[in-house]
A = this chain, B = another copy of it.
Amino acid sequence: MSRACLLSIGNELLCGQTVDTNAAWLSGRLFEVGVQTISVQLVPDETAEIVEALRQAVRRADFVLVTGGLGPTDDDLTREALAEYLGVELVYHPELGEKIEAFFTSRGMTMPRSNRVQATIPQGAEPIDNPRGTAPGVLYETENTLIALMPGVPGEMKAMFENAVMPRICQRLKGPTVRSVNLRCFGAGESTIAEMLGHRMQRGRNPLVNCTVSEGIITLQIVASGSSSLEAEQVLNTEREELEKILGPLVFGSGEDTLQDVVGRLLRSQHKTLVTAESCTGGLIGKLITDVPGSSDYYICGWITYGNQAKIHQLKVPPEVIERFGAVSEATARAMAEGAAQQSGADCVISITGIAGPGGGTEQKPVGLVYIGIQDEGQCRVHRCHFANAGRASVRLRATQTALNLLRRELTI
């Protein structure tokens, strides 16, 4: 497999001002064509640092992709650093100077003198056209390595990479074809899933299975390689089927699917409508459901009945239910769901009442205790959940995801 090192240049990346998203984007694009990114380094605007980073990167990688530091100001030093690393001069290219000047003219502006420096590139290197900005890129190839300098502005970088750098990379590629797919899972922890998969998660295997967790959702990425795309796809599909068999209903989707995407598709295909009745989640379920474009096809409305009076007045929860069992109880979750169904005529209801914290917990009803009502086809089941008290935001998010997952399971039985 070919290897890449990425360098992201700029002081703003090293003082918390800017999150570098270029490296993740580039490594994703490289991965898709079978190039493995073995290192990403964020480097300050200092020539010596950039030269040293280039030296180490060229030693290790087939492709060295550098973003940032091509601007016109004194702290833009990437061109200079490449020239110093190569031991050559920076050469002024009149045709590049004219292009940069034309860029300003086309916008009715005069080119500041400082931009002239952007038309200088190291001797022996090739300029890359920048259709979106003033800074040309720089390409330098030897037998072993391709070095590309690109602007740090994501839009300019991406256009330049796709137009000029990616084609050159593909020309130089060696090694097998790679295919990958994501399986999205909910309902078990990372370590439980790892135990279920056992040897399948071992490193160095083909196919490879990577596991990442983000906001409670587990993504298993299957990466398969083969000598042809057909072979890689066969390896991929066999592994995918195996994983889906082992994990069963823990797998809720693929690609970038969210729980609300999947619930929405199920509701739409079954011609069912949904309403929500939320207490402790305060609107988060409604928000997630309506994150999905077109959710008005199945989502009618929601109630955020935060106080007891709101539960009584808006959802017709009998006051004696709250008095006898408390606002956080199976009976109240059930009454909320039934009230919401009656008032809206919806097919499905999600109701939630619980203690999100940090205050409000008791020994009998601690922070993290949540009752979730799921109504479908006239039947309401209430689930009692106890989420770890890992902070208010975490309890609310997990309660919401669990509710969406319970409805998904209900709709797929």
The reply on A162 being an interface residue by CB < 8 A is no
Q: Which residues of B contact A21 (CB under 8 A)?
A: 19
Residues B302 and A307 in contact, CB atoms below 8 Å apart? no
Give A390-408 interface residues, CB cut-off 8 Å to B.
390-394
Residues A27 and B16 in contact, CB atoms below 8 Å apart? yes
The reply on A229 being an interface residue by CB < 8 A is no
Against B, the Cβ 8 Å flags (1 = close, 0 = not) of A172-212 are: 00000000000000000111101100000111000000111
Residues B114 and A195 in contact, CB atoms below 8 Å apart? yes
CB distance from A170 to the nearest CB of B (A): 17
Report the bound CA distance from A295 to B396 in whole Å: 14
Report the bound CA distance from A30 to B26 in whole Å: 27
Against B, the Cβ 8 Å flags (1 = close, 0 = not) of A362-373 are: 000000000000
The reply on A254 being an interface residue by CB < 8 A is no
Residues A299 and B306 in contact, CB atoms below 8 Å apart? yes
Chain A interface size, as a band, is: 35 or more
Give A138-190 interface residues, CB cut-off 8 Å to B.
153, 155, 189-190
Chain B interface: which of A69-77, A87-95, A120-128, A263-271? A69-77
Q: Which residues of B contact A20 (CB under 8 A)?
A: 19-20, 23-24
Report the bound CA distance from A213 to B359 in whole Å: 32
Chain B interface: which of A41-49, A241-249, A316-324? A41-49
Report the bound CA distance from A256 to B305 in whole Å: 28
The reply on A257 being an interface residue by CB < 8 A is no
Give A11-39 interface residues, CB cut-off 8 Å to B.
11-21, 23-31, 36-39
Chain B interface: which of A231-239, A283-291, A330-338, A375-383? A283-291
Residues B25 and A313 in contact, CB atoms below 8 Å apart? no
Residues B309 and A300 in contact, CB atoms below 8 Å apart? yes
The reply on A388 being an interface residue by CB < 8 A is yes
Q: A17-B221, A282-B290 are in contact. Are A115 and B212 (CB under 8 A)?
A: no
Report the bound CA distance from A135 to B71 in whole Å: 42
Residues A75 and B304 in contact, CB atoms below 8 Å apart? no
Residues A304 and B291 in contact, CB atoms below 8 Å apart? no
Q: Which residues of B contact A27 (CB under 8 A)?
A: 13-16
Residues B39 and A210 in contact, CB atoms below 8 Å apart? no
CB-nearest residue of chain B to A203? B75
Report the bound CA distance from A287 to B304 in whole Å: 9
CB distance from A5 to the nearest CB of B (A): 10
Residues A307 and B313 in contact, CB atoms below 8 Å apart? no
Q: Which residues of B contact A230 (CB under 8 A)?
A: none
The reply on A103 being an interface residue by CB < 8 A is yes
Residues B212 and A17 in contact, CB atoms below 8 Å apart? yes
The reply on A228 being an interface residue by CB < 8 A is no
Residues B16 and A24 in contact, CB atoms below 8 Å apart? yes
CB-nearest residue of chain B to A192? B112
Query: Told that A14-B27, A17-B210, A314-B314 touch, could you supply 13 new A-B pairs with CB distance under 8 A?
Result: A15-B221, A17-B24, A17-B212, A19-B19, A39-B41, A73-B191, A74-B202, A74-B203, A112-B194, A286-B287, A290-B306, A296-B306, A303-B303
**8 A-B pairs with the lowest CB-CB distances in the bound complex, closest first:** A16-B28, A283-B286, A282-B290, A283-B283, A301-B310, A302-B304, A40-B42, A283-B287
